Amino acid sequence: MGIIDVKNLHKVYSDTKIPVKAVNGINLSFQEGEFTSIVGPSGSGKTTFLNMIGGLDTPTDGEIIIDGKNISQLNSRQLIDYRLNHIGFVFQSYNLIPVLTAIENVAFILQLQGKSKKERNKRAKELIDAVGIGEKLHNRPGDLSGGQQQRVSVARALASKPQFILADEPTANLDSKSTNDLLDIMLKMNKESNITFIFSTHDQRVMDKARRIITIDDGVVVKDERIDD
């Protein structure tokens, strides 16, 4: 039993003329500390799969067991709390709050968790330092490069001390250097803090760093390979 167990997961979009089976019976288990890439062509169902694990979308059928709890049975309010306390999100287009500075974006998550001002500022600063942009603490997203914004995004994802981090095409908008730097940071976090990372990606550079690659096509897992160090 892993930290995430997915059993016979299905997702059918019925709001189109012809119902679309985006995920069609996936069974997977993720262990603590994994650094996993989910790959596959566009429309294969990998983002839908990630969204369901992240509690952003609900499955048509099947179970997602996290910490022994089936999250597909949670109501929307419980799902918000679940996302806040168990998952870190890294989005393709960073999605930082534009009116908050780098440190405020990270501290915001801790405030939602009810942490004291002192505690959240200390941890937010540590995380911003850890992702290597300590000199940009008080810059707003508009004053940061794409790579720097994505680092803040990683720091934000780590802020709540989540069980795992879901990253949907996190390097899609980054240049090579920024991509390598970001992956190095995430690998370091993974190794040092044993944080589980699950990526959805097309990027070969991400796949090269991954130690498990799951290939999804037409909503089913077609390959699940583990790469030894």
Partner 1 sequence: MDTIIKIAWRDLWRNKRRTFITMGSIMMAVFLAMFMRSMQIGSYDNMILAGVTEVGYLQVYDSGYWNNKSINKSLVYTNALKKKINNVKNISRIIPRLELFALGSFGNQTKGIFLIGTDPEIEDQQTHLSRKIVKGRYLKKNDSGILLAEKLAKFLKADVNDTIVILGQGYQGITAAGKYKVVGILKFLAKDRNNKMIYMGLSNAQNMISPYVPDVLSSLSIMLDKPNRMKKTRAELQKALGNDYEVITWRTILSEMVQTIQGDNAGGIIMLLILYIVVGFGIFGTVLMMTLERKKEFAVMVSVGMRRSKLSLVMLIETFVIGLMGVLSGIALSLPLLVYLHYNPIGVSGEIADMMIQYNMVPAMPASLKSYIFINQGITVLILALIASLYPVIIINRFKILRALRG
Is 11 an interacting residue with respect to partner 1 (CB under 8 A)? no
156 binds partner 1 (CB under 8 A): yes
Tokens 């330092």, located at residue: 129
**Nearer Cβ to partner 1, position 4 or 107?**
107
Cβ distance to partner 1 smaller for residue 47 or 213: 47
- Under the binding rule (CB under 8 A), the answer on residue 54 touching partner 1 is yes
Least separation, in Å, of the C-beta of 117 and partner 1?
8
Cβ proximity of 212 and 226 under 8 Å: yes
Which residues within the stretch 94-113 sit at the binding site for partner 1 (CB under 8 A)?
Answer: 95, 97-100, 104, 107-109, 111-113
How many Å separate Cα 30 from the centre of its chain?
Answer: 13
Strands (E) across the chain are located at 4-13, 20-30, 35-39, 61-66, 69-70, 87-90, 164-168, 196-200, 212-217, 220-226
Out of 3, 61, 70, 91, the only residue in the binding site for partner 1 (CB under 8 A) is 91
110 touches 123 (CB < 8 A): yes
Q: CA-CA distance, 205 to 85, in Å (whole number)?
A: 29
Closest residue by Cα to residue 142 from 98, 93, 90, 178: 98
Binding to partner 1 by residue 81, rule CB under 8 A? yes
Under rule CB under 8 A, residue 68 binds partner 1:
no
Residue 173 interacts with partner 1 (CB under 8 A): yes or no: no
Contact letters for partner 1, residues 114-133 (x by CB under 8 A): ---x----------------
Under the binding rule (CB under 8 A), the answer on residue 78 touching partner 1 is: no
Return residues touching partner 1 (CB under 8 A). Answer: 51, 54, 56-57, 77, 80-81, 83-85, 89, 91, 95, 97-100, 104, 107-109, 111-113, 117, 156, 160
